Structures are given as C-alpha cells and as structure tokens.
Amino acid sequence: MLLEVRDLHVEFTTRDGVAKAVNGVTYAVDEGQTLAVLGESGSGKSVTAQAVMGILDVPPGRITGGEILFQGKDLLRMKEEERRRIRGAGMAMIFQDALSALNPVLTVGAQLGEMFTVHRGMSRKDARAKAVELMDRVKIPAARQRVGDYPHQFSGGMRQRIMIAMALALEPSLIIADEPTTALDVTVQAQVMDLLAELQRELNMGLILITHDLGVVADVADKIAVMYAGRIVEAAPVHEIYKAPAHPYTRGLLDSIPRLDQKGQELYAIKGLPPSLLAIPSGCAFNPRCPMAQPVCRGTVPPLYQVTESPVPRTSACHFWKECLHAHA
Amino acid sequence: MPEPEPQPHPQPPRYDPLEPGDGEAIAPTGQGGQMDLALDEAESLERVIPPGPGNPREKARSLWSDAWHQLRRNPVFVLSSLLIVFLVLIAIWPSLIASGDPLQCDLAHSQEGSAPGHPFGYDTQGCDVYTRTVYGARASITVGVCATLGAALLGAFLGGLAGFFGSWGDALLSRVADIFFGIPVVLGGLVFLSVVTSDTVWPVVGFIVLLGWPQIARIGRGSVITAKQNDYVQAARALGASNARMLLRHVAPNAVAPVIVVATIALGTYIALEATLSFLGVGLRPPTVSWGIDISNAAPQIRNAPHMLLWPAGALSLTVLAFIMLGDAVRDALDPKLR
Amino acid sequence: MGRYVIRRLLQMIPVFIGSTFLIFFMVYALGDPVAALFGDKAPDPATAARIRKDLYLDRPLWEQYLHYMGQIFQGDFGTAFNGQPVLDLMASAFPVTLRLTVVAIAIEVVVGITLGVVSGLRRGKAIDTTLLVLTLVVISVPTFVTGYVLQYVLGVKWGWIRPSVSPDAPWNELLLPGLVLALVSLAYVTRLSRTSIAENAKADYVRTAVAKGLPRRRVVSRHLLRNSLIPVVTFIGTDIGALMGGAIVTERIFNIHGVGYQLYQGILRNNSPTVVGFVTILVIVFLVANLLVDLLYAVLDPRIRYA
C-alpha cells in the first residue's frame, strides 16, 4: 500500500474549547489509484490531508493518535528533516486557491525551479529549464516566455496548472489535491481535472482528491470515502456508492444533486446544519439530522460495519446500513 | 441564519443541558443542510469551528460586547485603566495625595535629596519634587485629552465625509493631509509655538490638533470606505435610505472602532509631544506645572541631582505607557484578525 | 514604471508647496522677523521700514513666498540675520545630521527587523511577550528622557562614551545619539515586523512552501520575509524625514551641531531665513524619501509594478 492512514485523531485548541476535527479516520490509497474524500466544510477532510502532508498548524492543531504509513513507514514517528525530504519529492499537494497559494512576489519560474534546486541540488539555470519543461507539460502556452512572469499575471486556470506542475515537479508517488477546481470557472474546471487525471495515469501516482463535487468524483475516482464530523461514515468503490449508498448521510448528499429528470421538483436538502466540532453529538454524530434515527443512534457510536468484503471492501458507520441499502435499491 | 430546527427527539438524560447536541450547536454559516459546500470549503480554523456552543450569550455577541468580554479578562487593559483612572483623579484633585503647594519653594533646600515629608527631594529652586510631580499630571492630562478630542472629532468628521462621499473632496483632503504629514512634528511645534505664545495650554492643544487630525482623518476615511462597501450598507442604499441616515446608522457605528483605537494610542503620544515641546521651551510655560518643564530644568543638573529628573520623567513615562497600553489592548480586542 | 515615477513626482509638487508655505506663513506672517533683529530694543521705524523693503517683507505674503522660492531654486537661501549665509550653515549642519540619521536608520533596520522577526516567529512565547512589553515601554519613554538617562548612565557614571559629541561629530561618537534617536522608531519597526511576520506566516503561500519540502530557513528567508518586509520598508522610508526633524531633541542633549541645533537657534533667535531654509530642505528630504519608498515598494511587490 502506498499510503495508509490508521485511526487518525486531530484536535484544535481554540478560545472556546477543544475542537475535535478528526476522530479516527482510516483510509488507504495505492499507486495509480484515486481516492475521493467527500464531505461538508468542517468534516475534517482537509485537516486529515494536512496531517498527512505534515503542514498542520501546530499549535493550535495537535495529532492525538493514529498512524500515517507512507510506503510502509510511519510519518508521525519520523524526524522532521526526514519528513521534509518526503514533502514535495515523495508526496505533493495541490491547493484550492492558486492565487493565494503561490508566492505573489516570486516569479513562477523561481517557484517551480526551487523544487529542483532544493531537492535535487540543481543549478539555477538547469532548474529554470526544468521549470519551462514542466510548464509545457501542463500545457501552458508560450512557457519559455512566461516563465519569468508573476502568479497574478496568469489566469485562474493557468495558475492552477502551475500549481499542478509544482506538485508534479519531482514526480512524487502520491498527490493530494484539495479542491483543485473549486476556485475555477466551470468551463475551466473540466480541463484542469482532465489534465490532472491524465498526468496521474501517466506517472502511475496515487491521488487523494478532496472535493465536494460528486460529478467530478464519478468521472475520476476509484474509491470514495465520505466524511462527517471528523469520521469516515462510508467508504466504497465509486460505482457501488452511486448505485446504493449504505449511509443516510451519503444518501442525502446524492439526493441533493440537482437532476434534469426531476426538473420542477423541490431539491432535496439534508435538514439541520453540520455539527460544531466543539460539541459533537453523542452516539452517531449524524443522528440529529438523520431521517432514519432511532434511540440507539443517540446512545451508541456505530462501528464501521463491513458491507461487502470483496472484491473491494466496503464499509458503513450506520447501525441501519442494511435498511439504508434496501431503501435505495 | 435559519431558525434552529425544533428538536425531533426528547433530549437523552445524559446531555448536559448547556451543551445541546442539535439545534443550538450549529454552525452560523451555510444554509440548512444543502450541498452548498462550494462557498466555503477553505477549512480555515475560523470556519471549521463555529462560535462556542453551550453559551447562550454567545449568540448576542456583537463586535463591541465581544471586545468588552475580552478586555475585561486582559490584565494589560485592567492595569492601564486603573492607572488612567488614578491619573485623572490626581489631575482633577491633586491635593488628594499631595498636601503641599507646588509653587511654594525654599532655596535653602535647593537640590537636596529625599527628606521626611519630602520623599522625592527638592529641585534647584527648592520646590518639593513630589508635589510638583503630582501637580504635573494636570497639565499633561488636560493637553492629552483636549488635543485628542479635538483631533479625533475633526479628523473623524472630515475623514468620514471624505470617505463616504469620495470624489474631489476626498482628493482634496488627501492632499491636505499629505501637506501636514510633510512637516516634521517637533519642528512645526517649535515654529508655531514660538510665534503663538500664551500662558494657557491652548496654543499647545491647538497645535497638536492642527498636526494630529490628518492621521485620524486618514484612518477614519479608510474605515468608512470599508464599511461603506458592506452588503447591508449597499442594501440600505438600494432601499432608498438617505445619505445622512446611511452614514449615521449604518456606516459610522462600523467605522468608529479604528478611530477610537488610533485616538487612544495618539493620546499617549500627544502627552509625550507636549512634554517634548515644554522641554524645548516652547510648550507650556511657568507657572504652569509641567513634567516637561521640570525635566528640562533638571537636565543640566543630572550629574549632581538625578532625582530631580527621574521622578517627573518616570511619572511622564508611566502616563504615556498607560494610554499606549490601553490603546494596544483595545486594538487587540477590536481587531478580530489578530485574535 | 517611468510613468509611475512621473505621476508621483507631479503629486509631490502641491505637497511641497503646501508644506513650505505653511512654515513660511508661520514664520513670516505670525511672527515678526524684523522685531527679532532688534532684540529687546524698539526698532527705529525708518530703519525697520528699510529692512522690510530690502527683505521683501512689505509685499503680500504670497509674493514674498514666490520671491523666496525663486531665490532658493537659484541656490540662494538668503542670509541669516547675523550675516552668515544660510547655505554655509547648511553645509556644516546637514552632513552631521545626515550621519546621525544614517546611524539611527541602520540601528532601526538591523535591530528592529531582527527583533520583529524573532518575535513574530515565536508568537505567544515568552520572548515575544517580553519584547512586546519592552517595545511599549520604549515607545512610552520620551526621547529626551532616554537621552538624558543614557547619557548620564553610559557617559557619566560608567564612562563608556563621551557625554557630548565633539564639533566634527565622528561616526563612533554618534552611536549613542543615533541609538537614542532611533529608539522609538526601533520599537515601532519591531512591532510592525512582528505583526507582519505573524500575519504572513499563516498565509497560504507559506503553507505551500512548507508543503514543497523546503527547509525552514528557506521558507522564512525566501518566502516569508520578503512579503512581510513590504510594510516595514514603507514605515522606515517615511521615518527618515521624521528622524531628521526629530533630531532637534537628540542634538540638544548631546550638543551636536547639526540641523536640529541650527534650527533650534534659529527659532529661539527668530532667525527667519535660517528656519525657512532648513525646513524647506527637510521637506524635500521627506518627499524624496517617500518617493524612494514608493519605488522600493514597486521593486518588492510586482503586483504594484505591473498595476
């Protein structure tokens, strides 16, 4: 396995108390595989990714438990210097908003070339040539002329391509893309997503795609992990989850996608709001919003039930996963 | 913010009543449970963690009550406010803690150190340094408060109007402010106060207002422009609110915080400026009792009798410090970005 | 870039005219330069009238101003009432104050930014809190108090330095006066760079730099520092003018015969040509410093350069 996250716990100390952002997340990605992590704002999907990358703000953040195995080695037990060498070279991250994620006062060539001078010890001149090569690779027109430009001189889509180029620079085995297309125009989204998927196939990388866009997921993902209140509530191969979700929250998400064949009908919405991480409801965190909730949901935290074993394991954290599966079918 | 959902189930008994699991404990952002995650997926900590639940006051927290809540627990604020209250009391009734007369001096005691009943000793004229130090608060506080009020009112008024209405008035104000910024303060003070003289504090106050208002106008202008762009102000405009109503009801309350912060810090620096001008011999003049004058008189004698300089200098520094600390604490409380 | 410079230069003109006119107004209209010539004696009316005519003082103020400015741009700053050309006074005073200001700015930049960076990177830690309190104290103690106290302690009590500066004001003797002059600004620079560093440390591009696997040193020096220093540079630039003007107090304490000293004498003796001449130069210094800051700003931040 390329990356395995096991029972990860992350907390944030805030003015108003301790926020439990990640409460026992377990997932795995293999080479050439795409895992989509789905969830609302505050579900802990980005925090998990930041913990994997090692870019969590500490403090206020704190990893309180779990393991992160990258190519078999636990990142959390590594020395900082060892981890640093992995960042960028072994795994890389693509951020949501390229305008703020790129340094405004350095040229894109300098920011791309830095990967090679720092990690590979290349000369500045060679690094610049590499930067041009990378920009060509992500299909930025006139790369040679634009390598000396600053981030704000590029369009949103081009900037995101530069982000992708930066992540791919050292051909890492794992890419984490945190909402890579959210900040872009709809017309550009597909192009950027296609480029990312194409490069992933070419380099046989593992990809963790953090998103809320179920449409994107269906196109590119192999597996889906749905997160709610810092836990994975359902994990399944992509086509199975669309066919029949095994968790009421996943079902709510799927039902709230507007569909052409239901034009004119009122759009479904999950009632209520995401829980406060300072006071996560007891039992199943989703119970106050769940249409299927029973007294047991408030009393007992549901374990991860094994829905199917093979070929790919499928899990759900719902006491009534069977009812949920059948209700949809 | 939508109304909390009526609770579908009776509360299980092991819930702490102050920590409701649903309804109350909801994030302030978002619209129901709809899948509108695109709006704010940047999981910055502020957004991940909604204001603490379980505290009913939390909901009513506005900028001001929130700031007040934070200030009360800030030792810097408490300390500086107590000090300022004390200083103001002393400025009004110096006889509360000093029984002597600051102008009653006896040359026989010139430059003597501390003696019973005269803890700070005597100055060159044989005046009691303790009494003079206590009485010196009045001039400093008066100049500081009057100059700040003047500069803040004038600056906020002009800056607010310029920011709100924009166009040529705004451009003119910016240029005029630039002119005042171009004049070094101490230098301007020397020139102005050497030609406008009087035995009162008013020339000094007038001069500080004259050079102080552009700074506050600049801040006021900026915050009015920011407040003006708020959606609810635009909405009020769209609904046909008059300019006066918008400025007073919607813009001013939201723009006043930075002005207050800058004015508080300025108060401290104005007191220091008055002392500097008095030290240079153009600020306050005897018989007004002023720390700046006393320090100036004591300075040449610092080798023989440092106490004459250190006491008024300490009092002056402490006063300036109190106001600057207060301003600093208020700024931290009012600026959510720094939290 | 060229157009930007020209636009800034044009904007400086009204400010220059306004500031100098304001000072001119105060000196010539509010004060009475002729009465000052005679000291305590009442001037003989005929003589006074002649002097007024010679000095252009019988004309409307704006004409006097134009006449004065016209002469200045021909390099004639007039004559002090004691017969010395103002230009001579300047030639002796400005180099001294310039040296003092250079020392002060150097201290401000090196010490202020270093402390600010240290503090900002360790926000909330003991060293940060200590520095923060220290800066507040430094800001609160007026320059003339720190000046006398340091002079007394270092110069008189411990004898580390000469308490007063010799007439030709060599660099080494200007260290303490420079520190005194810089101290308040130093505290501001520290606080400003601290805030700026702490704010930028949370910026997305810094997180990106960490995610790229750059060593911490490089993240700070190459990515964080440059962005954070932009507001600090602005402050230091505008401070140059303020320091030269504020040197009056420091120069008086340490008996330095620089701009502040000459100005102080000029003002005490109501020596109008000296005062207006020196102030005019100071205003020009201030404006040029501001212009340089704007240009430096554009160099540091490409978003402005290309705007």
Q: What is the ipTM of this complex?
A: 0.86
B303 touches chain C (CB under 8 A): yes
Q: For residues A93 and A163, give the distance between their C-alpha atoms in angstroms, rounded to a whole number.
A: 9
Sheet with A61-70: list strands edge to edge.
A17-29, A3-14, A61-70, A73-74
Token duo for residue B258: 């930075």
Rounded to the nearest 10 degrees, what angle do helices B252-279 and B185-195 cross at?
70
Class of domain B63-99+120-338: mainly alpha
Percent of chain A exceeding pLDDT 70 equals: 97
Give me the residue label for tokens 């009465």. Answer: C35
Of the ranges A31-35, C16-20, C40-44, which one carries the lowest mean pLDDT score?
C40-44
| Confidence class for position B61, pLDDT limits 50, 70, 90 | low
C chain contacts of residue B276, beta-carbon cutoff 8 Å: 142-144, 249
pLDDT in tens, C13-33: 888 888 888 888 887 776 666
C301 touches chain B (CB under 8 A): no
Residues in Cβ contact with B134 at an 8 Å cutoff, skipping those fewer than 6 apart:
B90, B94, B97, B98, B102
Beta carbons of B143 and B270 less than 8 angstroms apart: yes
Say if residue B60's pLDDT is above 50: no
Residues in Cβ contact with A42 at an 8 Å cutoff, skipping those fewer than 6 apart:
A21, A229, A274, A277, B27, B43, B47, B48, B49
Of the ranges A26-35, B140-149, C288-297, which one carries the lowest mean pLDDT score?
C288-297
Burial of A223 (0-12, 13-18, 19+ CB in 10 A): buried
A152 touches chain C (CB under 8 A): yes
- Tell me which residue in B180, B195, B295 faces C26 most closely, judged by beta carbons: B195
Give me the residue label for tokens 């992350």. Answer: A10
| The total number of residues written for chain A in this structure | 329
Of the ranges A105-114, A265-274, C19-28, C36-45, which one carries the lowest mean pLDDT score?
C36-45
A313 touches chain B (CB under 8 A): no
Residue type at C184 in one-letter notation: V
C chain contacts of residue B207, beta-carbon cutoff 8 Å: none
Token duo for residue A211: 């998103």
Say if residue C110's pLDDT is above 90: yes
Of the ranges A208-217, A231-240, C186-195, which one carries the lowest mean pLDDT score?
A208-217
| Confidence class for position B85, pLDDT limits 50, 70, 90 | very high
Say if residue B23's pLDDT is above 50: no
A chain contacts of residue C202, beta-carbon cutoff 8 Å: 57
Specify the pTM. 0.79
Q: For residues C44 and B288, give the distance between their C-alpha atoms in angstroms, rounded to a whole number.
A: 35
- Tell me which residue in A16, A46, A298 faces B52 most closely, judged by beta carbons: A16
Going by DSSP bridges, is the β-strand pair A231-237/A314-316 parallel, antiparallel, or unpaired? antiparallel
DSSP states along B25-36: SB-SSSSTB-S-
Q: For residues A192 and A207, give the distance between their C-alpha atoms in angstroms, rounded to a whole number.
A: 15
Contact between B316 and C149 using a beta-carbon 8 Å cutoff: no
C chain contacts of residue A97, beta-carbon cutoff 8 Å: 204
Mean pLDDT for B266-279 is 88
Handedness of CA B284, B289, B292, B294 (dihedral sign): positive
More confident site: A193 or A309? A193
| Confidence class for position A96, pLDDT limits 50, 70, 90 | confident
Structural domains in chain A, CATH included, are: 1-90+172-261 (3.40.50.300), 100-169 (no CATH)
Of B191, B39, C185, the C-alpha closest to A96 is: B39
| Confidence class for position C174, pLDDT limits 50, 70, 90 | confident
Residues in Cβ contact with A272 at an 8 Å cutoff, skipping those fewer than 6 apart:
A288, A289, B5, B22, B26, B32, B33
Beta bridge partners of A205: none
Contact between B184 and C242 using a beta-carbon 8 Å cutoff: yes
Distance from CA of B168 to the nearest CA of C (A): 15
pLDDT in tens, B89-115: 988 888 777 777 777 777 777 667 777
Percent of chain B exceeding pLDDT 90 equals: 8
| The total number of residues written for chain C in this structure | 307
> How many CB atoms lie under 10 A from the CB of residue A137?
17
More confident site: B229 or C130? C130
Say if residue B10's pLDDT is above 70: no
Contact between A275 and B33 using a beta-carbon 8 Å cutoff: no
Contact between C267 and B178 using a beta-carbon 8 Å cutoff: no
* Closest residue in chain A to residue C223, using alpha carbons only: A103
Of B304, B321, B284, B94, the C-alpha closest to B200 is: B284
- pLDDT recorded at residue B86: 92
Token duo for residue C170: 């060599």
Distance from CA of B185 to the nearest CA of C (A): 8
Cis peptide before B287 (omega within 30 of 0): yes
Token duo for residue C102: 């250079």
Q: For residues C94 and C256, give the distance between their C-alpha atoms in angstroms, rounded to a whole number.
A: 11
Mean pLDDT for C183-188 is 89
Q: For residues A126 and B12, give the distance between their C-alpha atoms in angstroms, rounded to a whole number.
A: 66
**What string of H, E and C letters represents the secondary structure of chain A?**
CCEEEEEEEEEEEECCEEEEEEEEEEEEECCCCEEEEECCCCCCHHHHHHHHHCCCCCCCEEEEEEEEEECCEEHHHCCHHHHHHHECCCEEEECCCHHHHCCCCCCHHHHHHHHHHHHHCCCHHHHHHHHHHHHHHCCCCCHHHHCCCCHHHCCHHHHHHHHHHHHHCCCCCEEEEECCCCCCCHHHHHHHHHHHHHHHHHHCCEEEEEECCHHHHHHHCCEEEEEECCEEEEEEEHHHHHHCCCCHHHHHHHHCCCCHHHCCCCCCCECCCCECCCCCCCCCCCHHHCCCCCHHHHHCCCCCEEEECCCCCEEECCCCHHHHHHHHC
Going by DSSP bridges, is the β-strand pair A3-14/A61-70 parallel, antiparallel, or unpaired? antiparallel
Residues in Cβ contact with C70 at an 8 Å cutoff, skipping those fewer than 6 apart:
none
Token duo for residue B142: 């008066």
Mean pLDDT for A110-127 is 90
* Closest residue in chain C to residue B319, using alpha carbons only: C140
* Closest residue in chain A to residue C122, using alpha carbons only: A59
Contact between A279 and B53 using a beta-carbon 8 Å cutoff: yes
In chain B, where the domains are located: 63-99+120-338
B chain contacts of residue A20, beta-carbon cutoff 8 Å: none
A79 touches chain C (CB under 8 A): no
- pLDDT recorded at residue C112: 92
Contact between B276 and C263 using a beta-carbon 8 Å cutoff: no
Backbone angles phi, psi at A80, to 5 degrees: -60, -40
Which range in B166-175, C199-208, C273-282 is most confidently predicted, on average pLDDT?
A: C199-208
Q: Which residues of B46-72 are buried (b: 16+ CB within 10 A; e: fewer)?
A: ebbbbbbbbeeebeeeeeeebbeebbe
Say if residue B15's pLDDT is above 70: no
C chain contacts of residue B268, beta-carbon cutoff 8 Å: 140
CATH 1.10.3720.10 maps onto chain C at 86-300
* Closest residue in chain A to residue B7, using alpha carbons only: A288
- pLDDT recorded at residue C305: 65
A 163-192: CB under 8 A from C = 166
Say if residue B6's pLDDT is above 70: no
Q: For residues A92 and A166, give the distance between their C-alpha atoms in angstroms, rounded to a whole number.
A: 8
Residue type at A225 in one-letter notation: A
Instruction: Give the best residue of A273, A294, A300 to mutate against chain B (max B CB count within 10 A).
Output: A273
Token duo for residue C82: 């004691």
Contact between B34 and A270 using a beta-carbon 8 Å cutoff: yes
Say if residue B48's pLDDT is above 70: no
Beta bridge partners of A87: A91
Instruction: Give the best residue of B7, B16, B37 to mutate against chain A (max A CB count within 10 A).
Output: B37
A chain contacts of residue B332, beta-carbon cutoff 8 Å: none
pLDDT in tens, C120-169: 888 878 888 889 888 888 888 888 888 888 888 887 778 777 777 777 76
A154 touches chain C (CB under 8 A): no
| Confidence class for position A110, pLDDT limits 50, 70, 90 | very high
CATH superfamily of C86-300: MetI-like (1.10.3720.10)
Distance from CA of B241 to the nearest CA of C (A): 35
- pLDDT recorded at residue B82: 93
B 140-179: CB under 8 A from A = none
Which range in A54-58, B20-24, B153-157 is most confidently predicted, on average pLDDT?
A: B153-157
Report helix, strand or coil for B318: helix
B chain contacts of residue C244, beta-carbon cutoff 8 Å: 184
B61 touches chain A (CB under 8 A): no
Contact between C213 and A118 using a beta-carbon 8 Å cutoff: yes
* Closest residue in chain B to residue C15, using alpha carbons only: B179
Backbone angles phi, psi at C191, to 5 degrees: -65, -40
Say if residue B56's pLDDT is above 70: no
Of the ranges A304-313, B275-284, C286-295, which one carries the lowest mean pLDDT score?
A304-313
- pLDDT recorded at residue C42: 65
Which range in B317-321, C27-31, C268-272 is most confidently predicted, on average pLDDT?
A: B317-321
- Terminal Cα-to-Cα distance of chain C (whole angstroms): 10
pLDDT in tens, B180-206: 877 778 888 888 887 777 778 888 899
